[in-house]
Amino acid sequence: MSAGYRGYIASRPVRDEMTPQHVQNLVVRDYATRNGLTFLLSATEYAMPGCFMMLDSAVASLDDIDGIIFFSLFMMPPDEASRRRIYRRTLELGRSLHFALENLAFDSERDIDRLEDMFQVDHFARSELRADDFDSEVTCPICGRLPASETPVGFSGVTSDVKPWPRVSNLLVCSGCGLLHKRTTAEWFQDIDVIYRDYEAYHQGQGAEQSVRQEEASELSPRSALLVRFAKDALALPSSGRLLDVGCGNGALLRSFAAEFPSWELIGVDRSESGADAVRTIPGVERFVVGGPADAPGHYDLVSLVHVLEHVPEPLVFLSEVAAKLNPGGAVLIDAPSFATNPFDLAVVDHVMHFSLATLRELTRQAGYALRAYSSSLIRKEHAALLTLADGTASTDSRASIAPDGATAAISLLQGLATWLPRHFAAQQVGILGTGIAATWVCEQLPNGAAFFVDEDPHRFGKPYMGAPVIAPADVPDDLTVFVAQPPVMAREIAERLAKEFPGPSWMACPSFHELEL
Protein backbone atom coordinates (compact mmCIF):
# COMPACT_ATOMS: atom_id res chain seq x y z
CA MET A 1 0.00 0.00 0.00
CA SER A 2 1.60 3.31 -1.06
CA ALA A 3 1.76 5.93 1.65
CA GLY A 4 3.23 9.15 0.21
CA TYR A 5 6.29 10.60 -1.43
CA ARG A 6 9.96 10.44 -0.55
CA GLY A 7 12.13 13.47 -1.15
CA TYR A 8 15.50 13.18 -2.86
CA ILE A 9 18.15 15.85 -2.20
CA ALA A 10 21.88 16.09 -2.83
CA SER A 11 24.91 16.85 -0.70
CA ARG A 12 26.89 17.72 -3.83
CA PRO A 13 26.51 20.45 -6.49
CA VAL A 14 23.61 20.23 -8.93
CA ARG A 15 24.57 21.65 -12.35
CA ASP A 16 27.69 23.17 -10.75
CA GLU A 17 25.71 24.99 -8.07
CA MET A 18 25.66 23.98 -4.40
CA THR A 19 22.30 24.55 -2.71
CA PRO A 20 22.31 23.93 1.08
CA GLN A 21 20.52 20.72 2.07
CA HIS A 22 18.08 22.52 4.36
CA VAL A 23 17.08 24.82 1.47
CA GLN A 24 16.56 21.80 -0.81
CA ASN A 25 14.34 20.24 1.84
CA LEU A 26 12.29 23.43 2.15
CA VAL A 27 11.79 23.55 -1.63
CA VAL A 28 10.69 19.88 -1.71
CA ARG A 29 8.31 20.34 1.24
CA ASP A 30 6.80 23.49 -0.27
CA TYR A 31 6.26 21.71 -3.59
CA ALA A 32 4.49 18.84 -1.83
CA THR A 33 2.25 21.23 0.10
CA ARG A 34 1.32 23.27 -2.98
CA ASN A 35 0.43 20.15 -4.96
CA GLY A 36 -1.42 18.30 -2.20
CA LEU A 37 1.17 15.51 -1.91
CA THR A 38 1.86 13.61 1.31
CA PHE A 39 5.55 14.13 2.09
CA LEU A 40 7.28 11.34 4.04
CA LEU A 41 11.01 12.00 4.45
CA SER A 42 14.05 12.98 2.44
CA ALA A 43 16.87 10.77 1.24
CA THR A 44 20.17 12.64 1.01
CA GLU A 45 22.55 11.37 -1.67
CA TYR A 46 26.18 10.66 -0.78
CA ALA A 47 28.64 13.39 -1.74
CA MET A 48 30.78 11.07 -3.89
CA PRO A 49 30.80 12.11 -7.58
CA GLY A 50 28.65 9.84 -9.74
CA CYS A 51 27.05 8.15 -6.72
CA PHE A 52 23.31 7.34 -6.91
CA MET A 53 23.01 4.80 -4.08
CA MET A 54 20.22 6.68 -2.29
CA LEU A 55 18.37 7.22 -5.55
CA ASP A 56 18.63 3.50 -6.36
CA SER A 57 17.21 2.77 -2.93
CA ALA A 58 14.31 5.19 -3.44
CA VAL A 59 13.51 3.71 -6.87
CA ALA A 60 13.60 0.21 -5.41
CA SER A 61 11.06 1.30 -2.77
CA LEU A 62 8.51 2.51 -5.36
CA ASP A 63 6.46 -0.62 -4.56
CA ASP A 64 5.66 0.93 -1.18
CA ILE A 65 5.41 4.68 -1.87
CA ASP A 66 3.50 6.94 -4.27
CA GLY A 67 6.64 8.32 -5.86
CA ILE A 68 9.71 10.52 -5.48
CA ILE A 69 10.03 14.31 -5.27
CA PHE A 70 13.45 15.39 -6.58
CA PHE A 71 14.85 18.76 -5.60
CA SER A 72 15.82 19.18 -9.28
CA LEU A 73 15.40 17.30 -12.55
CA PHE A 74 19.19 17.48 -12.96
CA MET A 75 19.70 15.20 -9.96
CA MET A 76 18.71 12.33 -12.28
CA PRO A 77 21.62 10.21 -13.60
CA PRO A 78 23.59 11.92 -16.39
CA ASP A 79 23.29 8.96 -18.79
CA GLU A 80 20.02 8.57 -20.68
CA ALA A 81 19.84 4.77 -20.31
CA SER A 82 19.78 5.03 -16.50
CA ARG A 83 17.11 7.71 -16.62
CA ARG A 84 14.94 5.64 -18.92
CA ARG A 85 15.16 2.65 -16.53
CA ILE A 86 13.77 4.92 -13.80
CA TYR A 87 11.01 6.18 -16.09
CA ARG A 88 10.08 2.61 -17.03
CA ARG A 89 9.88 1.32 -13.46
CA THR A 90 7.83 4.36 -12.41
CA LEU A 91 5.30 3.75 -15.20
CA GLU A 92 5.14 -0.02 -14.62
CA LEU A 93 4.16 0.57 -10.98
CA GLY A 94 1.77 3.43 -11.77
CA ARG A 95 3.80 5.88 -9.68
CA SER A 96 4.96 9.44 -10.38
CA LEU A 97 8.13 11.52 -10.19
CA HIS A 98 8.18 15.21 -9.33
CA PHE A 99 10.89 17.83 -9.79
CA ALA A 100 10.34 20.66 -7.34
CA LEU A 101 12.76 23.28 -8.66
CA GLU A 102 11.43 23.02 -12.23
CA ASN A 103 7.80 22.51 -11.08
CA LEU A 104 7.47 19.42 -13.29
CA ALA A 105 5.75 16.05 -12.87
CA PHE A 106 6.22 12.72 -14.67
CA ASP A 107 3.52 10.07 -14.82
CA SER A 108 2.97 9.09 -18.47
CA GLU A 109 4.83 8.03 -21.62
CA ARG A 110 4.33 11.41 -23.25
CA ASP A 111 6.35 13.08 -20.48
CA ILE A 112 9.55 11.18 -21.35
CA ASP A 113 10.38 13.18 -24.47
CA ARG A 114 9.62 16.43 -22.67
CA LEU A 115 12.09 15.65 -19.88
CA GLU A 116 14.74 14.32 -22.24
CA ASP A 117 14.47 17.46 -24.36
CA MET A 118 15.39 19.47 -21.26
CA PHE A 119 18.53 17.38 -20.79
CA GLN A 120 19.46 17.92 -24.43
CA VAL A 121 18.97 21.67 -24.11
CA ASP A 122 21.16 21.62 -20.99
CA HIS A 123 23.86 19.67 -22.82
CA PHE A 124 23.61 22.08 -25.76
CA ALA A 125 23.98 25.07 -23.44
CA ARG A 126 27.15 23.49 -22.08
CA SER A 127 28.46 22.94 -25.64
CA GLU A 128 28.17 19.17 -25.30
CA LEU A 129 25.85 18.97 -28.33
CA ARG A 130 25.77 20.73 -31.68
CA ALA A 131 22.53 22.25 -32.98
CA ASP A 132 22.27 19.59 -35.69
CA ASP A 133 22.35 16.79 -33.07
CA PHE A 134 18.73 17.57 -32.17
CA ASP A 135 16.02 15.29 -33.60
CA SER A 136 14.10 17.31 -36.18
CA GLU A 137 10.93 15.28 -35.62
CA VAL A 138 8.16 16.81 -33.57
CA THR A 139 5.59 14.93 -31.56
CA CYS A 140 1.92 15.69 -31.12
CA PRO A 141 1.20 17.95 -28.13
CA ILE A 142 -1.91 15.88 -27.35
CA CYS A 143 -0.96 12.22 -27.75
CA GLY A 144 2.82 12.36 -28.23
CA ARG A 145 2.91 10.53 -31.58
CA LEU A 146 4.87 11.49 -34.67
CA PRO A 147 3.19 13.31 -37.57
CA ALA A 148 1.61 11.31 -40.38
CA SER A 149 2.30 14.17 -42.81
CA GLU A 150 3.98 17.56 -43.05
CA THR A 151 2.97 20.20 -45.58
CA PRO A 152 5.34 23.05 -46.38
CA VAL A 153 3.38 26.31 -46.58
CA GLY A 154 4.10 28.43 -49.63
CA PHE A 155 1.81 31.37 -48.89
CA SER A 156 2.08 34.37 -46.60
CA GLY A 157 0.12 34.65 -43.37
CA VAL A 158 -1.96 36.91 -41.16
CA THR A 159 -1.62 37.55 -37.42
CA SER A 160 -4.57 36.90 -35.14
CA ASP A 161 -4.96 40.65 -34.64
CA VAL A 162 -5.35 40.82 -38.43
CA LYS A 163 -2.08 42.14 -39.84
CA PRO A 164 -0.20 40.70 -42.83
CA TRP A 165 2.79 38.48 -42.04
CA PRO A 166 5.40 37.16 -44.51
CA ARG A 167 5.39 33.46 -43.55
CA VAL A 168 3.48 30.56 -42.00
CA SER A 169 5.05 27.50 -40.36
CA ASN A 170 4.67 24.04 -41.89
CA LEU A 171 1.45 22.16 -41.12
CA LEU A 172 1.58 18.75 -39.42
CA VAL A 173 -1.12 16.09 -39.05
CA CYS A 174 -0.67 13.69 -36.12
CA SER A 175 -0.58 9.98 -36.95
CA GLY A 176 -2.43 9.16 -33.73
CA CYS A 177 -5.13 11.62 -32.74
CA GLY A 178 -5.28 13.44 -36.09
CA LEU A 179 -4.47 16.88 -34.64
CA LEU A 180 -3.60 19.50 -37.26
CA HIS A 181 -0.92 21.78 -35.84
CA LYS A 182 2.01 23.94 -36.87
CA ARG A 183 5.69 23.12 -36.49
CA THR A 184 7.01 25.35 -33.70
CA THR A 185 10.47 26.35 -34.92
CA ALA A 186 12.77 28.93 -33.35
CA GLU A 187 11.63 31.32 -36.09
CA TRP A 188 7.98 30.76 -35.09
CA PHE A 189 8.70 31.66 -31.47
CA GLN A 190 10.57 34.77 -32.61
CA ASP A 191 7.61 35.74 -34.80
CA ILE A 192 5.01 35.43 -32.05
CA ASP A 193 7.16 37.43 -29.65
CA VAL A 194 7.07 40.30 -32.13
CA ILE A 195 3.35 39.81 -32.86
CA TYR A 196 2.30 39.87 -29.20
CA ARG A 197 4.55 42.80 -28.36
CA ASP A 198 2.51 45.10 -30.65
CA TYR A 199 -0.84 43.31 -30.43
CA GLU A 200 -3.93 45.43 -31.25
CA ALA A 201 -7.24 43.63 -30.77
CA TYR A 202 -9.98 44.76 -33.21
CA HIS A 203 -7.88 47.65 -34.52
CA GLN A 204 -10.04 47.77 -37.69
CA GLY A 205 -12.93 49.01 -35.52
CA GLN A 206 -10.84 51.11 -33.14
CA GLY A 207 -11.13 48.41 -30.47
CA ALA A 208 -14.83 47.63 -30.92
CA GLU A 209 -15.48 43.88 -30.78
CA GLN A 210 -16.29 42.11 -34.04
CA SER A 211 -19.95 41.33 -34.66
CA VAL A 212 -20.90 37.88 -35.97
CA ARG A 213 -23.94 35.95 -37.20
CA GLN A 214 -25.23 32.67 -35.77
CA GLU A 215 -26.54 31.84 -39.22
CA GLU A 216 -26.76 33.65 -42.54
CA ALA A 217 -30.24 35.07 -41.96
CA SER A 218 -29.63 36.24 -38.39
CA GLU A 219 -28.76 39.68 -37.11
CA LEU A 220 -25.20 40.69 -36.24
CA SER A 221 -24.34 40.25 -32.55
CA PRO A 222 -21.13 40.69 -30.51
CA ARG A 223 -19.38 37.33 -30.16
CA SER A 224 -18.98 37.76 -26.41
CA ALA A 225 -22.70 38.35 -25.84
CA LEU A 226 -23.48 35.05 -27.59
CA LEU A 227 -20.91 33.19 -25.50
CA VAL A 228 -22.16 34.61 -22.20
CA ARG A 229 -25.70 33.58 -23.11
CA PHE A 230 -24.44 30.09 -24.04
CA ALA A 231 -22.74 29.68 -20.65
CA LYS A 232 -25.72 31.11 -18.77
CA ASP A 233 -28.20 28.73 -20.41
CA ALA A 234 -26.03 25.58 -20.24
CA LEU A 235 -24.74 26.04 -16.69
CA ALA A 236 -27.62 27.86 -14.99
CA LEU A 237 -25.04 30.26 -13.56
CA PRO A 238 -25.88 31.78 -10.16
CA SER A 239 -26.31 35.53 -9.63
CA SER A 240 -22.88 35.81 -7.97
CA GLY A 241 -19.53 34.08 -8.40
CA ARG A 242 -15.99 34.59 -9.70
CA LEU A 243 -14.89 34.67 -13.35
CA LEU A 244 -11.31 34.48 -14.66
CA ASP A 245 -11.03 35.58 -18.30
CA VAL A 246 -7.73 34.26 -19.69
CA GLY A 247 -6.48 36.12 -22.76
CA CYS A 248 -8.88 38.94 -21.98
CA GLY A 249 -7.42 41.41 -24.50
CA ASN A 250 -9.26 44.72 -24.15
CA GLY A 251 -12.10 43.13 -22.14
CA ALA A 252 -14.78 42.19 -24.69
CA LEU A 253 -15.90 39.04 -22.81
CA LEU A 254 -15.61 40.71 -19.41
CA ARG A 255 -17.75 43.61 -20.61
CA SER A 256 -20.54 41.32 -21.87
CA PHE A 257 -20.37 39.18 -18.73
CA ALA A 258 -20.54 42.20 -16.42
CA ALA A 259 -23.68 43.40 -18.20
CA GLU A 260 -25.36 40.02 -17.68
CA PHE A 261 -24.00 39.26 -14.17
CA PRO A 262 -23.34 42.56 -12.36
CA SER A 263 -22.72 40.84 -8.98
CA TRP A 264 -19.87 38.60 -10.15
CA GLU A 265 -16.22 39.33 -9.30
CA LEU A 266 -14.15 39.52 -12.49
CA ILE A 267 -10.42 39.15 -13.14
CA GLY A 268 -8.72 39.49 -16.51
CA VAL A 269 -5.35 37.97 -17.37
CA ASP A 270 -3.36 38.47 -20.56
CA ARG A 271 0.27 38.17 -21.59
CA SER A 272 0.07 41.67 -23.12
CA GLU A 273 -0.62 44.78 -21.04
CA SER A 274 -2.01 46.72 -24.00
CA GLY A 275 -5.66 46.25 -22.94
CA ALA A 276 -5.11 46.82 -19.20
CA ASP A 277 -6.57 50.33 -19.01
CA ALA A 278 -9.73 49.34 -20.88
CA VAL A 279 -10.22 46.23 -18.73
CA ARG A 280 -9.85 48.11 -15.44
CA THR A 281 -12.75 50.42 -16.35
CA ILE A 282 -15.24 47.52 -16.62
CA PRO A 283 -17.69 47.31 -13.66
CA GLY A 284 -16.93 44.30 -11.44
CA VAL A 285 -13.31 43.89 -12.55
CA GLU A 286 -11.10 43.43 -9.49
CA ARG A 287 -7.78 43.45 -11.26
CA PHE A 288 -5.84 42.90 -14.48
CA VAL A 289 -2.96 40.40 -14.31
CA VAL A 290 -0.10 40.15 -16.81
CA GLY A 291 0.73 36.48 -17.39
CA GLY A 292 -1.15 33.20 -17.63
CA PRO A 293 -3.79 31.37 -15.58
CA ALA A 294 -1.25 30.29 -12.94
CA ASP A 295 -0.52 33.97 -12.19
CA ALA A 296 -4.12 34.83 -11.28
CA PRO A 297 -4.88 34.82 -7.54
CA GLY A 298 -7.50 32.56 -5.98
CA HIS A 299 -10.05 30.16 -7.48
CA TYR A 300 -13.00 30.64 -9.80
CA ASP A 301 -16.45 29.35 -10.66
CA LEU A 302 -15.90 29.96 -14.38
CA VAL A 303 -12.72 30.32 -16.45
CA SER A 304 -13.14 31.62 -20.01
CA LEU A 305 -10.71 30.86 -22.85
CA VAL A 306 -12.06 32.83 -25.81
CA HIS A 307 -9.75 32.45 -28.81
CA VAL A 308 -6.92 31.35 -26.53
CA LEU A 309 -6.40 27.59 -26.83
CA GLU A 310 -5.36 27.75 -30.48
CA HIS A 311 -2.38 29.94 -29.46
CA VAL A 312 -0.94 27.48 -26.91
CA PRO A 313 1.96 25.18 -27.98
CA GLU A 314 1.53 22.91 -24.90
CA PRO A 315 -2.25 22.77 -24.39
CA LEU A 316 -2.21 19.88 -21.88
CA VAL A 317 0.06 21.79 -19.51
CA PHE A 318 -2.01 24.94 -20.03
CA LEU A 319 -5.32 23.19 -19.29
CA SER A 320 -3.84 21.66 -16.13
CA GLU A 321 -3.03 25.20 -14.95
CA VAL A 322 -6.62 26.19 -15.68
CA ALA A 323 -7.96 23.17 -13.77
CA ALA A 324 -5.95 24.21 -10.72
CA LYS A 325 -7.87 27.51 -10.69
CA LEU A 326 -11.37 26.00 -10.59
CA ASN A 327 -13.57 25.93 -7.54
CA PRO A 328 -15.35 22.59 -6.91
CA GLY A 329 -18.05 22.32 -9.57
CA GLY A 330 -16.42 25.07 -11.64
CA ALA A 331 -16.52 25.16 -15.44
CA VAL A 332 -14.38 26.27 -18.38
CA LEU A 333 -15.80 28.16 -21.38
CA ILE A 334 -13.88 27.63 -24.62
CA ASP A 335 -14.29 29.34 -27.97
CA ALA A 336 -11.84 28.32 -30.70
CA PRO A 337 -11.74 28.41 -34.52
CA SER A 338 -12.88 25.40 -36.54
CA PHE A 339 -10.46 24.94 -39.43
CA ALA A 340 -12.78 22.47 -41.19
CA THR A 341 -15.45 25.14 -41.65
CA ASN A 342 -12.93 27.99 -41.95
CA PRO A 343 -9.73 26.93 -43.77
CA PHE A 344 -8.44 30.53 -43.58
CA ASP A 345 -7.60 29.77 -39.94
CA LEU A 346 -4.54 27.86 -41.20
CA ALA A 347 -3.05 31.15 -42.41
CA VAL A 348 -3.05 32.66 -38.91
CA VAL A 349 0.62 32.72 -37.93
CA ASP A 350 0.17 32.56 -34.16
CA HIS A 351 -2.58 29.90 -34.25
CA VAL A 352 -0.47 26.83 -33.58
CA MET A 353 -3.37 24.41 -32.90
CA HIS A 354 -6.15 23.82 -35.41
CA PHE A 355 -9.01 21.86 -33.83
CA SER A 356 -11.75 19.64 -35.15
CA LEU A 357 -14.45 18.54 -32.73
CA ALA A 358 -12.70 15.14 -32.47
CA THR A 359 -9.30 16.58 -31.56
CA LEU A 360 -10.82 19.15 -29.19
CA ARG A 361 -12.62 16.28 -27.43
CA GLU A 362 -9.40 14.26 -27.24
CA LEU A 363 -7.38 17.16 -25.87
CA THR A 364 -9.87 17.97 -23.14
CA ARG A 365 -10.28 14.29 -22.25
CA GLN A 366 -6.53 13.84 -21.94
CA ALA A 367 -6.45 16.95 -19.72
CA GLY A 368 -9.04 15.45 -17.36
CA TYR A 369 -12.17 17.32 -18.43
CA ALA A 370 -15.65 16.21 -19.47
CA LEU A 371 -17.51 18.00 -22.28
CA ARG A 372 -20.61 19.51 -20.70
CA ALA A 373 -22.04 21.40 -23.70
CA TYR A 374 -20.96 22.06 -27.29
CA SER A 375 -22.14 24.11 -30.25
CA SER A 376 -20.78 24.63 -33.75
CA SER A 377 -23.71 26.88 -34.71
CA LEU A 378 -23.59 29.42 -31.88
CA ILE A 379 -20.83 31.24 -33.77
CA ARG A 380 -20.28 30.07 -37.32
CA LYS A 381 -16.77 28.75 -38.04
CA GLU A 382 -16.04 28.27 -34.32
CA HIS A 383 -16.19 25.63 -31.57
CA ALA A 384 -18.05 26.79 -28.45
CA ALA A 385 -17.68 24.36 -25.54
CA LEU A 386 -18.23 24.16 -21.81
CA LEU A 387 -16.07 21.80 -19.75
CA THR A 388 -16.15 20.51 -16.20
CA LEU A 389 -13.55 18.34 -14.49
CA ALA A 390 -14.08 14.63 -15.14
CA ASP A 391 -14.93 12.33 -12.24
CA GLY A 392 -11.72 10.33 -12.72
CA THR A 393 -13.35 7.14 -13.98
CA ALA A 394 -12.46 7.71 -17.65
CA SER A 395 -9.11 6.58 -19.03
CA THR A 396 -6.55 9.32 -19.61
CA ASP A 397 -4.57 7.36 -22.19
CA SER A 398 -5.83 6.87 -25.73
CA ARG A 399 -4.37 4.48 -28.29
CA ALA A 400 -7.12 4.79 -30.89
CA SER A 401 -6.33 6.78 -34.01
CA ILE A 402 -8.69 9.59 -35.04
CA ALA A 403 -9.30 10.58 -38.66
CA PRO A 404 -7.70 13.89 -39.70
CA ASP A 405 -11.18 15.46 -40.11
CA GLY A 406 -10.77 17.58 -43.22
CA ALA A 407 -7.13 18.60 -42.79
CA THR A 408 -6.19 17.72 -46.38
CA ALA A 409 -9.17 19.60 -47.83
CA ALA A 410 -8.45 22.73 -45.76
CA ILE A 411 -4.74 22.78 -46.67
CA SER A 412 -5.50 22.15 -50.36
CA LEU A 413 -7.99 25.03 -50.53
CA LEU A 414 -5.54 27.59 -49.18
CA GLN A 415 -2.66 26.33 -51.31
CA GLY A 416 -4.96 26.45 -54.34
CA LEU A 417 -6.28 29.95 -53.61
CA ALA A 418 -2.73 31.27 -53.15
CA THR A 419 -2.05 30.25 -56.77
CA TRP A 420 -5.46 31.09 -58.27
CA LEU A 421 -6.11 34.55 -56.79
CA PRO A 422 -3.11 36.41 -58.35
CA ARG A 423 -3.79 34.76 -61.72
CA HIS A 424 -7.53 35.44 -61.78
CA PHE A 425 -7.28 39.08 -60.70
CA ALA A 426 -3.97 39.91 -62.43
CA ALA A 427 -5.50 42.73 -64.50
CA GLN A 428 -8.68 43.46 -62.56
CA GLN A 429 -9.50 45.86 -59.74
CA VAL A 430 -11.62 44.14 -57.14
CA GLY A 431 -13.24 44.94 -53.82
CA ILE A 432 -13.13 42.49 -50.92
CA LEU A 433 -16.01 41.77 -48.55
CA GLY A 434 -14.76 41.82 -44.95
CA THR A 435 -11.91 43.34 -42.97
CA GLY A 436 -11.00 40.23 -40.99
CA ILE A 437 -8.46 37.43 -41.36
CA ALA A 438 -9.79 35.96 -44.62
CA ALA A 439 -10.14 39.37 -46.30
CA THR A 440 -6.66 40.43 -45.20
CA TRP A 441 -5.13 37.18 -46.45
CA VAL A 442 -6.93 37.44 -49.81
CA CYS A 443 -5.78 41.05 -50.21
CA GLU A 444 -2.17 39.99 -49.68
CA GLN A 445 -2.43 37.39 -52.47
CA LEU A 446 -3.67 39.93 -55.04
CA PRO A 447 -1.00 41.62 -57.17
CA ASN A 448 -2.71 45.03 -56.86
CA GLY A 449 -4.31 44.57 -53.46
CA ALA A 450 -7.93 45.61 -52.92
CA ALA A 451 -9.51 48.64 -54.58
CA PHE A 452 -11.82 48.91 -51.56
CA PHE A 453 -13.23 46.84 -48.72
CA VAL A 454 -16.89 46.20 -47.92
CA ASP A 455 -18.07 45.47 -44.39
CA GLU A 456 -21.49 44.97 -42.80
CA ASP A 457 -20.27 46.02 -39.34
CA PRO A 458 -21.07 49.74 -38.83
CA HIS A 459 -18.03 50.09 -36.53
CA ARG A 460 -15.81 49.67 -39.59
CA PHE A 461 -17.50 52.00 -42.10
CA GLY A 462 -15.51 54.99 -43.30
CA LYS A 463 -12.18 53.88 -41.88
CA PRO A 464 -9.27 53.10 -44.24
CA TYR A 465 -7.90 49.57 -44.13
CA MET A 466 -4.69 48.38 -45.81
CA GLY A 467 -4.63 51.66 -47.73
CA ALA A 468 -8.15 51.28 -49.15
CA PRO A 469 -11.53 52.68 -48.03
CA VAL A 470 -14.07 50.58 -46.12
CA ILE A 471 -17.65 51.08 -47.31
CA ALA A 472 -21.09 49.63 -46.62
CA PRO A 473 -22.66 47.18 -49.11
CA ALA A 474 -25.21 49.83 -50.11
CA ASP A 475 -22.38 52.15 -51.19
CA VAL A 476 -20.68 49.78 -53.66
CA PRO A 477 -20.96 51.28 -57.17
CA ASP A 478 -22.80 49.24 -59.79
CA ASP A 479 -20.82 47.01 -62.16
CA LEU A 480 -17.90 46.55 -59.74
CA THR A 481 -16.84 43.12 -58.50
CA VAL A 482 -16.65 42.28 -54.81
CA PHE A 483 -14.88 39.04 -53.81
CA VAL A 484 -16.61 37.46 -50.80
CA ALA A 485 -13.66 36.38 -48.64
CA GLN A 486 -15.28 33.63 -46.60
CA PRO A 487 -15.15 29.80 -46.72
CA PRO A 488 -16.82 28.64 -49.96
CA VAL A 489 -20.14 27.40 -48.51
CA MET A 490 -20.64 30.54 -46.44
CA ALA A 491 -19.39 32.74 -49.28
CA ARG A 492 -22.09 31.41 -51.62
CA GLU A 493 -24.82 32.07 -49.03
CA ILE A 494 -23.56 35.61 -48.42
CA ALA A 495 -23.14 36.37 -52.14
CA GLU A 496 -26.71 35.21 -52.87
CA ARG A 497 -28.14 37.33 -50.04
CA LEU A 498 -26.21 40.46 -51.02
CA ALA A 499 -27.10 40.03 -54.70
CA LYS A 500 -30.79 40.17 -53.74
CA GLU A 501 -30.34 43.18 -51.45
CA PHE A 502 -27.87 45.07 -53.65
CA PRO A 503 -28.21 43.80 -57.26
CA GLY A 504 -25.92 46.37 -58.90
CA PRO A 505 -22.43 45.03 -58.05
CA SER A 506 -21.17 41.53 -58.87
CA TRP A 507 -20.82 39.57 -55.62
CA MET A 508 -18.29 36.80 -56.32
CA ALA A 509 -18.20 33.91 -53.84
CA CYS A 510 -14.87 32.36 -52.89
CA PRO A 511 -14.62 29.17 -55.00
CA SER A 512 -14.13 25.70 -53.56
CA PHE A 513 -10.92 23.83 -54.39
CA HIS A 514 -12.72 21.81 -57.11
CA GLU A 515 -13.93 25.06 -58.72
CA LEU A 516 -10.46 26.56 -58.98
CA GLU A 517 -8.94 26.72 -62.45
CA LEU A 518 -5.38 25.76 -61.57
Domains and CATH numbers, the chain: 5-133 (3.40.50.1390), 208-393 (3.40.50.150), 408-515 (3.40.50)
Instruction: Kindly provide the residue ranges of all beta strands, DSSP E only, lying in 261-318, ordered along the sequence.
Output: 265-270, 285-290, 300-306
Cβ proximity of 384 and 374 under 8 Å:
yes
pLDDT the model gives residue 135: 47
For the chain, residues with pLDDT lower than 50 are 1, 128-135, 205, 207, 393-401
CA dihedral of 392, 397, 398, 399, whole degrees rounded to 10: -150
pLDDT the model gives residue 320: 93
CA distances from 235 to 232, 260, 299, 391 (A): 6, 14, 18, 17
Cβ proximity of 143 and 365 under 8 Å:
no
Task: Give the DSSP H or E segment for 246.
Answer: strand 242-246
- Which residues neighbour 127 within 8 Å (Cβ) at sequence distance 6 or greater? none
pLDDT the model gives residue 212: 64
Q: Please give the Cα distance from 21 to 31 (Å, whole number).
A: 15
pLDDT digits (tens, 9 = 90+) for 155-198: 899 999 989 999 999 999 998 899 999 999 888 988 988 888 87
pLDDT digits (tens, 9 = 90+) for 233-273: 999 999 999 999 999 998 999 999 999 999 999 999 998 88
Task: Calculate ∠ Cα 345-351-354, nearest 5°.
Answer: 60
Q: Please give the Cα distance from 4 to 65 (Å, whole number).
A: 5
Q: Please give the Cα distance from 65 to 379 (Å, whole number).
A: 49
In 3D space, the residue among 312, 313, 308 whose CA is nearest the CA of residue 184 turns out to be 313
pLDDT the model gives residue 210: 62
Rounded to 10 deg, the angle between the 80-92 and 53-60 helix axes is 20
pTM for the model stands at 0.71
pLDDT the model gives residue 180: 95
Cα first-last separation, the chain: 67
In 3D space, the residue among 178, 225, 452 whose CA is nearest the CA of residue 340 turns out to be 178
